Structures are given as structure tokens and as C-alpha cells.
Amino acid sequence: MAAADLRGVIAASITPVTPELGVDVPRLAAHAARLLNDGCSFVSTFGTTGEGASFSTREKLAALGALKAAGADMSRQIPGVMTPTLDDAAEMVTGIAALGCRAALVLPPFYYGTSEAGIADWFDALVARTEGTTRIDLLLYNIPKLSRVRFTPELVRAILSRHGSRIVGIKDSTGDIENGVMLARSFPELSVFTGDDRVLPTLLANGGAGMIGGMPNVFARDLRSLYDAPGRTDLLDKQALRIEAVDSNGSLVALKAALAHYLGDENYARALPPLRALEAAERAGLIARFAESGFERAA
């Protein structure tokens, strides 16, 4: 069965950025601690919401090392591996393991759009390059809109047939309820997460493990309540309205803008180019829509 601890609400954390366009480690540490305190099971740094494809492997591992040095509980970290480069992916997986993280969330190579056999070969090579130094658990990151790779049942089975002892979960960011349910039913041995709050109750009812998503950055307490009581349609309706507001305002930069507003710290709003922080009018509209959903403070 799925790993017993890999359940719940996992926050795909934003990454605070310094004026010099580096990782703002003190703010990242404070934010991660706040997310765990507000009910998240784990924090996933440097995924899509964390601008993981925009930071180098060196920057990300240095930031994770600084988090550990600052006293962060690395056993509650599931960092993203967001690179099409095999060598960088292997370095990232090895570094994540050395820091004592719980697992790594691995995006498939996203440039060439190759065959399923080619993707399986890439995972073969990744495991081969890291097997001698670590056997850290891996989660597959299914976000075909950005990666151009879909983890079909056939592809998942091919990878599991070779590396079943290493693969422990899937994050399904398709936003498709039927796809999430299909994965949960097809692979009960894996912890299957959705990236979409609106899918969470149905996924849980069909054997899913929970969610790994960006919305907990602001709404962690409400999402933990929804996880604990999936029948709370009032919370589900509120989250649906909030997702629409975030998606119509640039997704992760909207979450950053909201944190800057509620925490009273403009440094949280800064994004790494090519992304740009929300303009004042856009932020005002976003916060107004959150207020309409009954939300007035940071989670």
C-alpha cells in the first residue's frame, strides 16, 4: 500500500526572491515553518509554484542547505527536481537525499517531447546515476500542460516494473477528476496527490492521498480543514472561487502578491524574471475577490 506518512496537504511553496534575484532563505524558512504550523504535512520547495525551473541546481541546493542550517525539519521537505538535464537531475536528487529530505518530486524531461519508452529510459538513467549514493523515495510529477509528458498508466507501469522500490507517489496536476481517480485506483501502492483543490474530496473518496498544490501558501488552514472533512462543500466552494481568482491573475505571482499583502511584506511579491509581480490594481482586485470568499488574512 501507499507510504503511510505520504498523505495530507502538501504545500507547493512559493520562493521568496531577494532584490538581487537570489533565493531569500530567511523568508523561505519562515514561510515553510508557517505552512507546517498551519497544518501542512510537508512542504515541497522549488516546484512549479516555487519557480523551480528558473533557479539553478546550485542555487536550489544551497538554499536547501541553508534551510537545514537554520534548523528546518528536512524530513518534512519534498523538493522538486525540475530540469530536463540528466546530470542536474541526478545532482539534485543526490543533494536532496544528503540533506535528509523525505522524498523528491521529479518532473520528467520536458524539452524534446519524446516517446514513453524514452521517458522510461531517462528514469532508468536517473536511478542508475543516484543508486550508489541514495535510495531516496521519488514521486512522479504529472503536469503535461508544461512538461509535454503525460504519465499514462502504461508509462507508470513501465517505470514501476523497473524501479518499483523507489517510486512511491504521483502528483497529478492535470486538474482532471477522472484522471486523478484513475491513477488512484490503478496504483493503490502509490500515494496519489492532486494539484487541484477542487479534485481533493473526490480523490480522497477513491483512495487518493491528498494534495500537493500552490493554494496552501495562502489558504493552508482551510485546505487542511477540507482534507479532514471532505464533505465540507462550503470550503470547496470557497476554494473554487479563490482558484479562479488566482488563475486569472498569473497563478504563482498572485499567490506571492497575496502573501505580500497579508503579511505586510512586499519582499514576498517579487518574482524571478521572466515572471513579473502583479501591478497594484491587479492585486487590489485579487484581494477583493478573496474577501468575497470570506478570507481576510494569511493562512
If one counts the domains in the chain, the total is: 1
Within a domain: residue 263?
Answer: no
CA dist., res. 2 & res. 7, Å (int): 9
Task: DSSP for 54-104, please give it.
Answer: TS-HHHHHHHHHHHHHTT--GGGB--EE--S-HHHHHHHHHHHHHTT-SEE
Q: From the annotation, which residues make up the binding site for pyruvate?
A: 49, 212
- pLDDT tens string for the chain (299 positions)? 567 899 999 999 999 999 999 999 999 999 999 999 999 999 999 999 999 999 999 999 999 999 999 999 999 999 999 999 999 999 999 999 999 999 999 999 998 888 999 999 999 999 999 988 999 999 999 999 999 999 999 999 999 999 989 999 999 999 999 999 999 999 999 999 999 999 999 999 999 999 999 999 999 999 999 999 999 999 999 999 999 999 999 999 999 999 999 999 999 999 999 999 999 999 999 999 999 999 987 54
HEC letters along 172-229: ECCCCHHHHHHHHHHCCCCEEEECCHHHHHHHHHCCCCEEEECCHHHHHHHHHHHHHC
> Which sequence positions are flagged as catalytic?
141, 171
Which CATH number is 86's domain given? 3.20.20.70
Within a domain: residue 267?
Answer: no
Contact partners, residue 182, CB within 8 Å, separation at least 6: 153
pLDDT for residue 2: 67
The amino acid present at 163, given as its one-letter code, is: H
Within a domain: residue 74?
Answer: yes
* Residue 168 parent element (H or E): strand 167-172
Within a domain: residue 270?
Answer: no
Which phi and psi (to 5°) does residue 49 adopt? -65, -30
Question: Which position has the grid cell 496537504?
Answer: 9
Contact 81, 89 (CB under 8 A): yes
Query: Using one digit for the tens of pLDDT, what is the confidence trace for 75-98?
Result: 999 999 999 999 999 999 999 999
pTM value? Answer: 0.96
pLDDT for residue 4: 87
Find the domain containing 75 and state its range. Answer: 8-230
Within a domain: residue 219?
Answer: yes
Within a domain: residue 1?
Answer: no
- Burial (CB < 10 A; 0-12, 13-18, 19+), residue 25, is buried
pLDDT for residue 298: 56
Within a domain: residue 171?
Answer: yes
Within a domain: residue 85?
Answer: yes
